[in-house]
Amino acid sequence: MYKFTASITKELRLLLRDKVGLMIMFAMPVLLVLLITSIQISAFELVNNSKVKVLLCNKDKGKGSQEFLSYLNEVGRFDLINVDMTEDDRNVGDYLNDHDAFVALYIPEGFSDQIAKKAEFTAGKALVEFGINESPDTLKMVKVDSLTIYFHPVLQQSLRRSIQGALKSVIQLVESKSMLNALYFSINGKPMPASFEKEMFANQIGIKERTTSHNGSRTIPNAAQHNVPAWTIFAMFFMVISLGGNIVKEKLSGSFVRLKILPTNFIVGLLSKQLLYLMVAMSQVIVIFSMGVWLFPHIGLPALNIPHDWLALIVVSFICGLSAISYALCIGVYAKTQEQANGFGAISVVILATIGGILVPSFAMPKAFQFYMNLSPLHWCLEAYYGLFLEGGKLVDIMASVIPLLGSIVVLQLIAIIGLKKKNLI
């Protein structure tokens, strides 16, 4: 037992004196989580929560455009700001920049009249088609001038489509209402009563929104739910700098050679090293997750919602930590110099994080990459955490992610041990 405690003490002393390694394992991920969550939160909110700022230039003073704008406000997604601008692209661009907006809407003069005339035409045509009226000579098709919508070049295509969809549905509503009014007036010779109109348009078919989950919990995905686990995994794998470097140093300093002739099995050394770094990984989880739970709400970021299944969270964190340790062990065994371990280790972790969905969510990746992400242990770590954080799953629900992760740990450990044997170090 003394051998084991002495080994752990030795590793702890080396770790505590490795200031750069500690900074990389703790300070860097804390900063990354804070910065990236703060940056992403604005993009996330643009898509999910906050209103889209729309510059509005309404050259029409009629009832139709007022109604249109009233319905647009009811949608609740747009923050309309009235401006007086021309239709010239350059002019609109300047306005967008000045107002820090991404969208502008131009309503041409006579828009309301044109809608009203179009409604009269459609209603008249309908009455003819129904055989109620004869075809009057005055019935003439009216073309409504289109609204013009301007987008800032950086605005994503998906958001453009979503805004266009909202505008189209509002226009349709205004047109339908106008047409129904015209039809009512043609048949009854008086305007449609407000109560009837309200009854007709209030009774729309609703859409229920539900987020799927395993246990009925409703965790709303936000930037914290993705970033906190994602950057914790990244931090764990960045252990490669400290642990990988530690192994290279031991090889180069000749300590491995001395240990080989001492009457203690090298497994004791490997186990104590891994156990200590597993504790480091758990500390990273505690520090970064605590920050997500307690610090984030105080600095205007969404709080991290910890999954209900604590045991599963601990098990997954242990497995992710072990996976990171196994990877660092491999790099340390095969790297010939400290520079190789640091350089290759860091770059490879960034690549694995990229293809693993840490930097960009995997669903947003090109199809070709979606195969390669299966090769990244970080991907399986993230999938396991997603299963707990976003879907409220239990351990059994995330086995599809945990099993490949366990497999990769076994493979990486074997590769490391083979490397140590081949290099005559154990």
Partner 1 sequence: MNNLALSVNNLSFRYPGQAKDCVHDLSFEIFIGERFGLFGPNGAGKTTLMSLMVGLQKVKQGHIQLLGKDIRKDSAAIKHFIGYVPQDFAFYPELSPVENLDFFGAWSGLDKRTVKERTTSLLEVLGLSDVAHKPVKQFSGGMKRRVNLAIGVIHEPKILFLDEPTVGVDVQTRHAIIDYLKVLNAQGTTLVYTSHHLKEAEDLCERIALIDRGEMVAYDHLSQLLERHGSKDGLEELFLKLTGSAYRD
N- to C-terminal Cα separation, the chain: 20
267-326 positions binding partner 1, by CB under 8 A:
268
Which of residues 18 and 60 has its CB atom nearest to partner 1 in the complex? 18
Q: Report in angstroms how near the CB of residue 244 gets to partner 1 at its nearest.
A: 16
For the chain, what is the HEC assignment?
Answer: CHHHHHHHHHHHHHHHHCHHHHHHHHHHHHHHHHHHHHHHHHHHHHHCCCCEEEEEEECCCCHHHHHHHHHHHHHCCEEEEECCCCCCHHHHHHHHHHHCCCEEEEECCCHHHHHHHHHHHHHHHHHHHHCCCCCCCCCCCCCCCCCEEEECCCCCHHHHHHHHHHHHHHHHHHHHHHHHHHHHHHHHCCCCCHHHHHHHHHCCCCCCCCCCCCCCCCCCCCHHHHHHHHHHHHHHHCHHHHHHHHHHHHHHHCHHHHHHCCCCCHHHHHHHHHHHHHHHHHHHHHHHHHHHHHHHHHHCCCCCCCCCCHHHHHHHHHHHHHHHHHHHHHHHHHCCCHHHHHHHHHHHHHHHHHHCCCCCCHHHCCHHHHHHHHHCHHHHHHHHHHHHHCCCCCHHHHHHHHHHHHHHHHHHHHHHHHHHHHCCCC
Q: 356: burial class by Cβ within 10 Å (0-12, 13-18, 19+)?
A: buried
Q: Report in angstroms how near the CB of residue 258 gets to partner 1 at its nearest.
A: 4
Does the footprint of partner 1 cover residue 14 (CB under 8 A)?
Answer: yes
Does the footprint of partner 1 cover residue 160 (CB under 8 A)?
Answer: no
Q: Report in angstroms how near the CB of residue 103 gets to partner 1 at its nearest.
A: 59
Sign of CA dihedral 94, 95, 96, 101: positive
Q: Report in angstroms how near the CB of residue 268 gets to partner 1 at its nearest.
A: 8
Cα separation, 85 vs 291, whole angstroms: 46
Cα separation, 353 vs 233, whole angstroms: 9
Which of residues 166 and 259 has its CB atom nearest to partner 1 in the complex? 259
Among 153, 263, 300, 366, binds partner 1 (CB under 8 A): 263
Which of residues 17 and 218 has its CB atom nearest to partner 1 in the complex? 17
Which of residues 140 and 260 has its CB atom nearest to partner 1 in the complex? 260
Q: Report in angstroms how near the CB of residue 237 gets to partner 1 at its nearest.
A: 24
Does the footprint of partner 1 cover residue 10 (CB under 8 A)?
Answer: yes
Stretch of 4-12, 23-31, 119-127, 374-382 contacting partner 1, by CB under 8 A: 4-12
Among 17, 90, 208, 218, binds partner 1 (CB under 8 A): 17
Which of residues 195 and 424 has its CB atom nearest to partner 1 in the complex? 424
Which of residues 381 and 420 has its CB atom nearest to partner 1 in the complex? 420
Encoded one letter per residue, x for contact with partner 1 by CB under 8 A and - for no contact, window 222-261 reads ----------------------------x--xxx-xxxxx
Does the footprint of partner 1 cover residue 19 (CB under 8 A)?
Answer: no
Query: For residue 53, what are the β-bridge partners?
Result: 79
Does the footprint of partner 1 cover residue 6 (CB under 8 A)?
Answer: yes
Stretch of 8-16, 84-92, 212-220, 333-341 contacting partner 1, by CB under 8 A: 8-16
Which of residues 4 and 372 has its CB atom nearest to partner 1 in the complex? 4
What's at 332, amino acid-wise? G
CA 145 to chain centre: 39
Which of residues 27 and 257 has its CB atom nearest to partner 1 in the complex? 257
Which of residues 108 and 419 has its CB atom nearest to partner 1 in the complex? 419
Q: Report in angstroms how near the CB of residue 325 gets to partner 1 at its nearest.
A: 20
Does the footprint of partner 1 cover residue 215 (CB under 8 A)?
Answer: no
Q: Report in angstroms how near the CB of residue 235 gets to partner 1 at its nearest.
A: 23
Encoded one letter per residue, x for contact with partner 1 by CB under 8 A and - for no contact, window 395-424 reads -----------------------------x
Q: Report in angstroms how near the CB of residue 29 gets to partner 1 at its nearest.
A: 24
Which of residues 161 and 258 has its CB atom nearest to partner 1 in the complex? 258
Which of residues 22 and 166 has its CB atom nearest to partner 1 in the complex? 22
Residues that bind partner 1 (CB under 8 A): 2-3, 5-7, 9-10, 13-14, 17-18, 250, 253-255, 257-264, 268, 424
